Structure 1
Amino acid sequence: MTNSPGIPDSNPESTGTDAPGAETFQTLAEPRSANRLELTGGVWHQISPKYVRVQLISNGSFLVLVIAATLVLTLLMHQWWAWIPGGILTVILVWILAILPRQARSIGYQLRQDDLVFRRGILWQRFVAVPYGRMQLIDITHGPLDRGFGIAQLKFVTAAAATGVVIPGLEQSMAETLRDHLVEVAESRRTGL
């Protein structure tokens, strides 16, 4: 497999950086259990730490809204039952905000000879291998916050809905370069089917 400029190769001797000057996490967070899922060989490429900032802003804003709504309902409208759902949502959102940085460091992808392997999760690990020849659609999406921080998410769609993969938090330029590279490789693999 030939590589385009800025595209990481599947060579184990590769440095592991996505592109010159690309800002990504440097270590992949792994579960501590001896029974964890492992994929040896190859280089894992990670997402940008900007993804954590975007998620913190997004989830933090929602947390502020939940707290404000709870306070308005209880203090101004005397609806004391609002403490129960408001408290439950607040605890859940605080927990999400607390584990978000480690969760983001567990997201990675690996370009191999015949497929792209995506992994995420610490408690609930997920490994998905998407064969290049089976990719039907490669889509880049970014919302207003993503654009403001210069990141995007790359989505792969195959005929099987269960193998759809979304890689969040890629630098915008890397997402575009990776998309172009994957389209090129997928086209060459489909012609051989």
Structure 2
Amino acid sequence: VRWSRRDGTTEGEIIINNIACWGIAMDKDRYLYISDIEKHEVRQYQIGQQNGTLVAGGHGKGVGLDQLNWPTHLFVDEHYNVYVSDTWNYRVMKWAKNASEGVVVATGFPRGLCVDSSENIYMADYGNHQLICWPKEAKEGTVFAIGDGEKDGTNQLYYPWGLSIDQHGYLYVADHSSHRIQRFPLKKD
């Protein structure tokens, strides 16, 4: 659904329907990327287009590099690489533009994810109550914020869900079951 920013507008406009959508992202050219958890795929849509172009998955549910299993959160970088939280395969997949298969770039219990300008991947590891940074081409990630559930300290997480990075070097976390948003500096001053 899309809403106008004009005053007095109270109705949205349905731009894509009949989709089991979970995640959504937009690239710098205003193309939408939508994850479909029933078709186990991600499609790119130009505004006004109904069918979209397959950009990740689309070969049924599975563990192959051309498959996804419950794709949820998405991130699209400045080079049009699509990062997908492939939830039930316990991995994050990176799909380059026009690729026929993805590459596993992180593992864990992924929910929210984002990528900085150095191509470091930040992942909310939902089931383990932690945030993990996967440097570009790293074989394993580094935990930089951890929780053990049901604690409310600023060093604790309880099912982290969504992530966002700002241009000032801060990572924002939707700390789902603690009912709050936390902010973490990514760079030491």
- Give the TM-score of the pair, scaled to structure 2: 0.30
Q: Tell me which protein shows more helix as a share of its residues.
A: 1
Larger Cα-atom Rg: 1
Q: Tell me which protein shows more strand as a share of its residues.
A: 2
- Give the TM-score of the pair, scaled to structure 1: 0.29
* Structure with bigger RCO (C-alpha 8 Å, 6+ apart): 1
